[in-house]
Amino acid sequence: MMVLQVMPAEVELALALLQDKTLKEHAEAKGITKNTVRVQMQSLLNKTGCRRQAELVGKLNRLFAQINL
């Protein structure tokens, strides 16, 4: 099992993505800039080895599916 060291803000972003929120919607909800969210997204992509947002969301969905057996 791989353990990722992610920041709380990155976890919040990941959860927002799983709820089909856009980066802009997440930024507005958190009161931060879209650029900040983009930096968080890039960090998540790097930490997970994903190249695209859709790939990350798919990986997260599979992970949660395994947890919620």
14's CB contacts (< 8 A; 6+ apart) are: 6, 44, 56, 60
pLDDT of amino acid 1? 55
* pTM of the full structure: 0.88
Q: What residue numbers bound the domain in which 42 lies?
A: 8-67
Task: Give the count of domains, the chain.
Answer: 1
Domain of 13, CATH number, reads 1.10.10.10
Contacts of 35-44 with CB under 8 Å at 24 or more apart are 37/13, 40/7, 40/9, 40/10, 40/13, 41/13, 43/6, 43/7, 43/10, 44/6, 44/10, 44/13, 44/14
Task: Kindly list the averaged pLDDT for each block of 10 residues, start to end, along the chain of length 69.
Answer: 83 96 98 98 96 96 82
Q: Is residue 31 part of a domain?
A: yes
